[in-house]
Amino acid sequence: MSDTKQAPSLEADKQRGAQKTGISAESIVNLAHENNEMRKVAKTREGVHAARYLIVISVLSTIILFLLWLQFKHFPQAKFTATQNAAAICGIGTLDKPMVTDATVKDFAKEAVVNIYSMDYANFNKTLAIAANAYLLPEFTPKFVESFNKSSFLSQVIDSRFVVVATGTPSYPPAIAQRGLIGGVYSWKVRVPITFTYSSGRQTHEDHAMAVVTVSQADPAKVPSATRGIGVQWMDLVSAGR
C-alpha cells in the first residue's frame, strides 16, 4: 500500500521540477530551430551586402577606367609652347599660328649658326653632332650633315687645320625676311650676318658671310630636342653680299 501511494507523488515531483526550470524539450527544439533560421537570414544578408559591395566596386572601376581613357585617348595628350630657355616647357596650342616672338626666333637662329659653325679641324664631327641635335629638326639633320661634309667651308677647315669661331655681327643684327606657313607649320626665314675668325698657329683672319635660316615651330612632345618649341628646318650659308 505504501509503494502505490508514492508513485504518483514522484510523477508530480517531475512535473513540478519541469515547471520550476521553465524549459521543456519542445521549447529547446524550437529555440534551436529559431537559431538556425536566424543564422540563415544573417548569412543571406551578408551575401546580399557582399554582392552590393562588389557591384559598387565594379561600377567605380568602370568609371575610373573610362576617365583614364578620356584623359589619354580622347583628349589631346600634350600641348606645348616655347620658353625663353630650356628650363621649363609649358603648354602650346597649334603649330599653324606663331607661339613665339620674332625676337626669340632671331636669337635662336643666330645661336644655331654660331654653335654649328664654331669648330676645329680635329673635333668638327663631335661639335656638329651636338649642335645639330640641339638646333636642327630631325628631318633636316641628315640632309644638312651630308651637305656640310661636302662643303668648301669644311674642306678649308680640315686642309688648313683651322680653329673657327663664329660670331654675330653687332652692327648687322639678324632680320626676318619672310614668315608664314610651310606645310601647315608657321615658319620664319631669318637672315643672320655672321663673322668667322679662322686661327691656325699664329695666323688669324676673318671672313664674313650670310646665313639664311628657316626656323619652324615644333611640338616638343614629338620633337624632344625642340625644347623652345622651334627648330631649324633649313640653313644655307651664302656670301655676305647676297
User: What is the pLDDT confidence band of residue 11, given thresholds at 50, 70 and 90?
Assistant: low
pLDDT category at 88 given cuts 50, 70, 90 is very low
Whether residue 130 is found in the same domain as residue 171: yes
Higher local confidence (pLDDT), 212 or 44 = 212
Instruction: Check residue 70 and report its DSSP letter.
Output: I
From 38, 5, 200, 41, select the one nearest 121 (Cα to Cα).
200
Report the pLDDT value the prediction gives residue 155, as an integer from 0 to 100: 94
- Full domain range(s) for residue 144: 102-239
pLDDT reading at 8 higher than 70: no
pLDDT at 16: 56
Sign of CA dihedral 97, 100, 102, 107: negative
199 in the same domain as 126: yes
**Average pLDDT of the segment spanning 19-48:** 69
Which segment of 50-64, 93-107, 148-162, 172-186 scores lowest on mean pLDDT? 50-64
Mean of pLDDT values over 225-242: 84
In 75-151, alpha helices (H): 102-117, 124-135, 141-149
Could you tell me the CA-to-CA distances from 20 to 10, 14, 23 in Å, in that order? 15, 10, 8
Residues 122 and 131: beta-carbon distance below 8 Å: no
The proportion of the chain whose per-residue pLDDT surpasses 90, expressed as a percent, equals 52
145 and 33 co-located in one domain: no
Residue with the larger pLDDT of the pair 26 and 214: 214
Are the CB atoms for 195 and 210 separated by under 8 Å? no
> Domain check: are 48 and 162 in the same one?
no
pLDDT for position 242: 46
Grid cell digits, residue 17: 521540477
Q: Map grid coordinates 519542445 to a residue.
A: 26
Residue 168 has pLDDT above 60, yes or no: yes
Q: Is the pLDDT of residue 126 over 80?
A: yes
Same domain, 208 and 107: yes
Distance from the Cα of residue 148 to its chain's centroid: 33
Residue 149's alpha-carbon distances to 1, 143, 157, in angstroms, are 142, 10, 11
pLDDT at 54: 80
Instruction: Round to whole Å and give the CA distance between 30 and 24.
Output: 10
- Please report which residue ranges of the chain form alpha helices under DSSP H: 2-21, 25-69, 102-117, 124-135, 141-149, 152-159
Q: Residue 92, class by beta-carbon neighbours within 10 Å (0-12 exposed, 13-18 middle, 19+ buried)? A: buried
> Are residues 185 and 137 part of one domain?
yes
User: Lowest mean pLDDT: which of 87-101, 163-177, 198-212?
Assistant: 87-101
Question: What total of structural domains would you count in the chain?
Answer: 2
Pairwise pLDDT comparison (53 vs 237), residue with the higher score: 237
Maximum Cα–Cα distance across the chain: 156
Q: Are residues 138 and 231 in the same domain?
A: yes
**CA atoms of 129 and 19, how far apart (whole Å):** 107
Nearest residue to 134 via CA among 50, 227, 61: 227
On whether both 46 and 126 belong to a single domain, the answer is no
- Mean pLDDT value of segment 77-97: 58
3-state helix, strand, coil in the chain (%, to 5): 50, 25, 25
DSSP state of 121: T
User: In this model, does residue 62 exceed pLDDT 70?
Assistant: yes
For residue 161, which phi and psi values (nearest 5 degrees)? 55, 50
What pLDDT is attached to residue 80? 47
What whole-number percentage of the chain has pLDDT above 70? 76
Pairwise CA distance, residues 53 & 205, whole Å:
83
Residues 57 and 108 in one domain: no
Say what the pLDDT of residue 45 is.
Answer: 74
Same domain, 66 and 113: no
